[in-house]
């Protein structure tokens, strides 16, 4: 068997999340079906390839950099070459890319190093949530990956709330634990920032050449953590937005951090503004040790 690492991206608008669900279009389902056809053909009754992903995204959530792995037999991998003058792995990458719909992009397929596990070996994940508030004119082209509000948000208050998430905490007020798991996570970075208005065209060429970059003026929440519990990022964003609108204050947010109790005021915000932007891994020699450590149940 050979373990392959797959780096990919997708627009989540047309998917019911990452994970396979009966009679639902999911990212995992689309890719596994394509892999099955490539590796086993239409007539073989082999076990379908199963993907393990770095982070399961919810329905409507996007990924500009997602990572997963799959174990394939050496015989099935060798058959991918066919008439192509390339390696078996490159042949699989080419065939898989060609079978993807427009809302999934395969960036790379490679042989995974020893000890690699897309989920448990990861050091950290980076998510960004994008908002268009009243400070910027609404661009309808952004509707798939930006959340819109007609209110102007107070970024200073939102950053005061976000700062309270840094470090190791129980995020039980903002997340749902997996069966047998916890909502304890370590947040390494969390901040709000407005994207500067910048031109795509070199300055000094005159007003008629003005063409602002598409993200100009958007309010973005960037958060980096070793892992995320279900609904954690969207719920933190939703709570920060309540603070930014003046509906809640920073003390309320601090109370939710101090007492990890899930209730109605800290539910997740709409999914379309959220994108998984990056997954980081340690050096090859530390992959197995990292995976073993993360499989252990966390405590504070």
Q: How far apart are CA 258 and CA 60, in angstroms?
A: 30
Active-site residue, 139 included = no
Topology classification of domain 2-111: Alpha-Beta Plaits (3.30.70)
- 69 in Cβ contact with 32 (< 8 Å): no
- HSE-CB at 29 with a 13 A cutoff on CA atoms is 13
Q: How far apart are CA 74 and CA 5, in angstroms?
A: 15
Pick the closest to residue 157 from 249, 232, 222, 266 (CA basis).
249
pLDDT averages per 10-residue partition of the chain, 300 residues: 97 96 96 94 69 96 98 94 92 97 98 96 97 94 96 97 97 89 94 88 65 88 96 97 97 95 87 97 90 79
3-state secondary structure 115-160: CCCCCCCCCEEEEEEEEECCCCCCCHHHCCCCEECCCCCCHHHHHH
What was the pLDDT predicted at 40? 84
Q: State both tokens at 95.
A: 């065939």
Pick the closest to residue 265 from 279, 275, 255, 277 (CA basis).
255
Torsion sign (Cα): 101, 104, 106, 107: positive
Q: Of 7, 58, 117, 133, which one is the catalytic site residue? A: 58
Confirm whether 2-111 and 124-283 share one CATH topology. Answer: yes
What was the pLDDT predicted at 300? 76
**CATH architecture type of domain 124-283:** 2-Layer Sandwich (3.30)
139: number of Cβ within 10 Å: 16
What was the pLDDT predicted at 205? 61
How do the domains of the chain map onto residue ranges?
A: 2-111, 124-283
């Amino acid at each position: 068997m050979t373990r392959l690492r797959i780096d990919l991206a997708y627009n989540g608008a047309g998917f019911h999340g990452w994970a396979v669900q009966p009679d639902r279009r999911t990212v995992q389902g689309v890719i596994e079906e394509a892999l099955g056809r490539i590796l086993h053909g239409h007539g073989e009754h082999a076990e379908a390839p199963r993907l393990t992903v770095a982070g399961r995204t919810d329905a409507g959530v996007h990924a500009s950099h997602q990572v997963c792995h799959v174990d394939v037999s050496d015989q099935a991998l060798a058959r991918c070459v066919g008439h192509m003058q390339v390696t078996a792995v490159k042949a699989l990458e080419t065939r898989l890319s060609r079978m993807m719909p427009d809302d999934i992009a395969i960036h790379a397929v490679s042989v995974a190093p020893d000890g690699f596990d897309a989920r448990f070996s990861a050091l950290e994940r980076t998510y960004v949530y994008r908002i268009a508030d009243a400070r910027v004119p609404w661009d309808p082209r952004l509707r798939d990956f930006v959340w819109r509000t007609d209110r102007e948000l107070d970024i200073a208050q939102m950053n005061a709330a976000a700062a309270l998430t840094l470090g190791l905490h129980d995020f039980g007020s903002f997340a749902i634990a997996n069966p047998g798991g916890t909502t304890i996570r370590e947040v390494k970075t969390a901040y709000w920032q407005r994207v500067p208005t910048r031109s795509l065209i070199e300055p000094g060429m005159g007003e008629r050449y003005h063409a602002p970059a598409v993200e100009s003026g958007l309010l973005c929440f960037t958060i980096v953590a070793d892992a995320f519990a279900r609904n954690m990022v969207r719920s933190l964003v939703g709570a920060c937005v309540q603070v930014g609108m003046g509906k809640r204050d920073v003390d309320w947010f601090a109370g939710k951090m101090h007492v990890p109790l899930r209730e109605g005021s800290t539910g997740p915000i709409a999914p379309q503004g959220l994108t998984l932007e990056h997954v980081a891994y340690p050096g090859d020699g530390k992959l197995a040790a990292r995976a073993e450590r993360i499989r252990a149940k966390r405590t504070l």
